Chain A
Amino acid sequence: MDPEVSAVRLTVWEAVHILSSSEDGGRIFCTLGSLKRYLGETENSALPEEQEEFARIHFSTFLRCLVGKLSPDWLELLPDGQMEELWASFFLEGPADQAFLVLMESIEGAASPSFRLMKMARLLARFLSVGRMAAVMEGQCQQQAGPAFPLLQETLLTKVVGLPDLLGNRLQWENLATFFPQNYFPLLGEEVLRVLQVVVDSLRGGLDCSVSFLSQVLGKACVHGRQKEVLGVLVPRLTVLTQGSCLWQRVCWCLVERVPDWAMEAVLKGFVEAAPGPEVLSRLLGNLVTKSKKAQFVMTRKLLFLQYSCTMPMLQSLLGYLAMDSQRRSLLMQALKELLETWGSSSAIRHVPLVQQCYVSKAILICLAHLGEAELRDSQDELLASLMEGVKSRLDSSLPPVRRLGMIVAEVASARIHPEGPPLKFQYEEDELTREMLALAMPQPTADGPSEAGPSFAPVSGETPDRETVDRSGPQVGPEGSDSELDSDDEFVPYDMSVDREQRSSKAPSYVRGCLEALTGSKDWERWEAALRALEGLIFRSPAATQEVSVELAKVLLHLEEKTAVAGFEGLRQRTLVAVTVTDPARVAEYLTAQFYALNYSLRQRMDILDVLTLAAQELSRPGRLGKAPQRGSPDPGSQPGGAVVPAWRAVVEERVRRKTRWFSKGSVGRAPAVGPNEFNSVAGYFFFPLLQHFDRPLVTFDLLGGDQLVLGRLAHTLGALMYLAVNTTVAVPMGKALLEFVWALRFHGDAYVRRGLLSAVSAVLLSVPAERLLADLLDELLEARSWLGDVAEKDPDEDCRLLAVKALLLLEKLRDKLLLLSSP
């Protein structure tokens, strides 16, 4: 060893000795001051070799010694906190990585609530606030002298990212605000940015630098779930910095590329989330997806297929990013193919939650918006094949949202993929979702779109007044000039003109039989329509006459076709059928249930039968029905001109009565609820049991257990409704038993709609059958149902099914509580 080296070592030993033994403040101060020479930056600093040796070998030892000395008495050795200042300066000015490690180490080692712990924590906060963290990371980037010691780097990495956790654990309630994750990570982001600035500067100066430590810090922070905090600071700044500078772009790409695979997903997701658009994302990430397998997996599979948590702007950024470069476009095409395949797979339709299906559909639309016609044409056949399969299985689904998704995607996609073919056009209701999806299908506007739209609005708004005046001074107005005096007429407010409707010239029949004739034999369509409109009222007015021809009427109505465009035909027919059923429940229900399983009916008719039975049962079971029955037959408002006048008149009279009446006390004002026996009681069996009879026997045209699952679902719902309406009837118990058997037979049905029906049927049983009878007669079925419900509540892919199962389970619980309550006293 040469003498200079020993000199440093001797000085340090001596200093350590003095520190550990001396109580003399002045002497310690001098010793420390002499050591400061080795940190440089003073006028009489030591030789560079000495400094380097001190930093490399003795600095941590010395710092540990300093930490060991820390106590209130020791700091008091010199007045005015000089000692503390000097003490801290070693940490703040010495080599940052070592100082940081010693700081963290001593914080870890200090007794939990202690003077030393707080002092060290404050020092660490100061360390952070003066930007030493950047120095720590910078040190790791500029490893000119050979590769970094991996273990040290690993430790540093853990400490840098784990700092908030460590401090939080050590300090508990005394934690400082700087160390809160929401404050620390943005700071870390700033520091990373500063280091990047240094790296860029040194690259400009021709020095080699490595950003891999930064990448690791970034990756680790993101894996810890702090993407928002770190990238929220980084991405906007990087967006600006990379705008004009190639060097910055390269550094940025490097930063992302070096992110270890285990952190790639977290980092990329963070970037996609934080980037304001595909252009920015493309600038920040470069061709990352083509270079890194992991990144490719994350971007083209994980975020598209395995997760569905991205928001629409994220998804648009992501797919837009893929579309922006020719190297990446093949990936986009690949993604579209796979998306369509997933979208079209019938098992996915059944087992994937609706939200995810929606997500995939939206992704498809965005892909289509980005891809050009030529690209689409290249793989037209493949795309069309999966699209058509998907459309078919989606339209088969009994869930309206699934069908609607199928329609929208089919319309848009077929127009894009196969533009020369005839356009597909479906009828679906417009709502929030459809509008959103159709908007996604529009090609994205370019970045400067909004500024273009700005001026184009101005002339339009300037035009409108002109156009308005043109409208008003339309052709009907006579010579100008003379009507200026009449301008005040505009305040004439029109009255409600809803009574203004087309007049029907044909006289409606006045008897039920007349209607029957008109509906069957008449070639006079006006009369036919008038008969249809009048029938419901007639049925309610003359129940006896209706009962004579009830089955005939039901037959006619069931087979009635809409031969002319009658507004509200379906509703009219249904209401009338319900009226017939209510008037003569036993016979008509018998007829209708028999027809449900008969040959040669359309699905529509069969579902009509179910609807009518439900509505009629509801009407029959309504308490106090008889008192109010005539109100049901709402007469055509046109036929009763005075009808509309009545309410206003009544309001006036009531108001007058109210004013002139003096109330001495307020009794109960509300009317007592109507009471009466459940009329459904005597006929429930006619409605219910025949429907259960043949569901497992397929006909040529009608196979409930096969393709006609929509009707099966409707049947399950109907049975549930009938069960529910049979509350307080004597027949409820056998009905419940039969229904539970039905449910048991179908409990593993693949269609979500059917399962929903079954689940609601179970709930109906629980609600309608008295608790004691449930336990006495249906115990086994109930236990079986319970285990099934538990399964469904946990595992069913359909959200509604799970919800319904939970509801049924809750009902069971309630039932149990009630029984316990009964048996306890």
Chain B
Amino acid sequence: MAAPPLPPPDPQFVLRGAQSAVHALHFCEGAQGQGRPLLLSGSLRGLVHIWSLQTRRVVATLDGHGGQCVTWLQTLPQGPQLLSQGRDLKLCVWDLAEGRNAIVDSVLLESMGFCRGSVLAGGLQRWMLAVPGRGSDEVQILEMPSKTSVCSLKPEAQARPGMPMCLQLWQADSSPRPLLLAGYEDGSVALWDVSSRKVCSRVACHTEPVMGLDFDSQEARGVSGSAEKTLAVWSLDEQQALQVRGTHVLTNPGIADIKIRPDRRILATAGWDHCVRVFHWRTMKPLAVLAFHSATVHCVAFAADGLLATGSGDQRISVWSLYPCT
């Protein structure tokens, strides 16, 4: 207590050169054991940059979204395949193996919203993709790579949750049934049982649209951020009922993205107030406020080794190493 607090940390390094606002970030573990992972970033101008964290330079630039903002990036475990979602209503599947960067497939989306997709890949050749669907409040589940629409999750008529804003597919260890967490425009978070196409539970966490959520499936506990000033922490009990466990008030409203570090010890939020906030995941104790960016922070991403990358409207990507993983 007596010691003065540590001065605010500095980024480990900063990546410049995206040349437009960064809207999506994703760490791609170097597939063939190349040492340090690659960092993928998606920009407002529709480009996907692949950064080497070793040389801190762009390795490759992918242009597949016709100048429209790239909102979501995700790699698949089997083979170096990349999914990129753009506001041109296309979801592209890229093959990055052996230095290739070609679109191998693409899915046409039917929603103009900002909702990012989600993937559930169990290491098999087949994987499940959740994207916003045709109706404004629908979520569409596709089986990939065959692109067959499995179902469309449509809330009951009287619920009126508005558009889905963020999605997360996951699967409990104990059961094979895929589950989907969706944050809606009215500030509620709903848990869908995909196979039965039913809402298991729905809880109102916020009064503004849910902008981002992340879920810790081991502790059955998740966190969501919205356009308002609070973070909500909720948990899932054995009856698969969501329950708000607590809220945490921030200084400024607006959370664009929220991620829990893979080792489940800290979490980071991307704030509209240009700040990235780091919390202790178990206690939600605030640990740091990273005030580096000079524009809205759009996305945060954690690497498996604990590295944190943040992308902002100031066209910079900053990389931080905080509270090393053990």
Task: Evaluate whether A472 and B283 lie within 8 angstroms (CB atoms) in the complex, with A478-B219, A478-B221, A489-B265 already known.
Answer: yes
With a cutoff of 8 Å between Cβ atoms, the chain A residues found around residue B265 in the complex are: 486, 489, 492
Looking at the complex, which one of B266, B284, B326 makes contact with A476 (CB distance below 8 Å)? B284
Task: Evaluate whether A493 and B6 lie within 8 angstroms (CB atoms) in the complex, with A479-B220, A500-B275 already known.
Answer: yes
Separation of A476 and B280 alpha carbons in the complex (Å): 11
The reply on B200 being an interface residue by CB < 8 A is no
Looking at the complex, which one of B219, B273, B288 makes contact with A495 (CB distance below 8 Å)? B288
Looking at the complex, which one of B251, B283, B323 makes contact with A477 (CB distance below 8 Å)? B283
The reply on B23 being an interface residue by CB < 8 A is no
Q: Is there an interface contact between B289 and A499, defined as CB atoms closer than 8 Å?
A: yes
Within the complex, what minimum Cβ distance (angstroms) separates A649 from chain B? 8
Q: Is there an interface contact between B323 and A478, defined as CB atoms closer than 8 Å?
A: no
The reply on B291 being an interface residue by CB < 8 A is yes
Contact with B along A491-518 (1 / 0, CB 8 A): 0111111011111000000000000000
The reply on B34 being an interface residue by CB < 8 A is no
With a cutoff of 8 Å between Cβ atoms, the chain A residues found around residue B251 in the complex are: 500-503
Looking at the complex, which one of B220, B286, B292 makes contact with A494 (CB distance below 8 Å)? B286
Q: Is there an interface contact between B283 and A476, defined as CB atoms closer than 8 Å?
A: yes
Q: Is there an interface contact between B6 and A496, defined as CB atoms closer than 8 Å?
A: yes
With a cutoff of 8 Å between Cβ atoms, the chain B residues found around residue A472 in the complex are: 283
Q: Is there an interface contact between B282 and A503, defined as CB atoms closer than 8 Å?
A: no
Within the complex, what minimum Cβ distance (angstroms) separates A515 from chain B? 22
With a cutoff of 8 Å between Cβ atoms, the chain A residues found around residue B105 in the complex are: none
The reply on B197 being an interface residue by CB < 8 A is no
Separation of A645 and B289 alpha carbons in the complex (Å): 14
With a cutoff of 8 Å between Cβ atoms, the chain B residues found around residue A477 in the complex are: 245, 282-283
Of the four ranges (under 10, 10 to 19, 20 to 34, 35 or more), the interface on chain A belongs to 20 to 34
Q: Is there an interface contact between B273 and A644, defined as CB atoms closer than 8 Å?
A: no
With a cutoff of 8 Å between Cβ atoms, the chain B residues found around residue A503 in the complex are: 251-252, 273-274
Within the complex, what minimum Cβ distance (angstroms) separates A634 from chain B? 17
Separation of A638 and B273 alpha carbons in the complex (Å): 11
Contact with A along B266-289 (1 / 0, CB 8 A): 100000011101001011111111
Q: Is there an interface contact between B291 and A645, defined as CB atoms closer than 8 Å?
A: no
With a cutoff of 8 Å between Cβ atoms, the chain A residues found around residue B246 in the complex are: 474-476
The reply on A483 being an interface residue by CB < 8 A is yes
With a cutoff of 8 Å between Cβ atoms, the chain B residues found around residue A641 in the complex are: 274, 291-294
With a cutoff of 8 Å between Cβ atoms, the chain B residues found around residue A474 in the complex are: 246, 283
Interface hub of B9, B218, B291, B294 (most chain A Cβ within 10 A): B291
Within the complex, what minimum Cβ distance (angstroms) separates B30 from chain A? 28
Within the complex, what minimum Cβ distance (angstroms) separates A501 from chain B? 6
Task: Evaluate whether A492 and B8 lie within 8 angstroms (CB atoms) in the complex, with A641-B274, A641-B293 already known.
Answer: no
Residue of A nearest to B314 (CB): A641
Contact with A along B282-326 (1 / 0, CB 8 A): 111111110111100000000000000000000000000001001
Looking at the complex, which one of A476, A479, A648 makes contact with B7 (CB distance below 8 Å)? A648
Q: Is there an interface contact between A502 and B5, defined as CB atoms closer than 8 Å?
A: no
Q: Is there an interface contact between B291 and A495, defined as CB atoms closer than 8 Å?
A: no
Which A residues are within 8 Å of any B CB, using their own CB?
Answer: 472, 474-479, 482-483, 486, 488-489, 492-497, 499-503, 638, 641, 644-645, 648
9 shortest A-B CB distances, which residue pairs? A476-B246, A478-B221, A475-B246, A496-B5, A500-B289, A495-B288, A503-B273, A499-B291, A476-B284
20 more contacts with CB within 8 A, not counting A496-B5, A503-B252, are A475-B245, A479-B220, A479-B221, A479-B235, A482-B219, A488-B326, A492-B265, A494-B288, A496-B7, A497-B5, A497-B289, A499-B289, A499-B291, A500-B291, A502-B251, A503-B273, A638-B291, A641-B274, A641-B292, A648-B10
- 20 residue pairs of the A-B complex, CB under 8 angstroms, read A475-B246, A476-B246, A476-B284, A477-B282, A479-B220, A479-B237, A483-B282, A489-B282, A492-B266, A492-B287, A493-B5, A494-B285, A495-B287, A496-B8, A499-B289, A500-B251, A503-B273, A503-B274, A638-B291, A648-B7
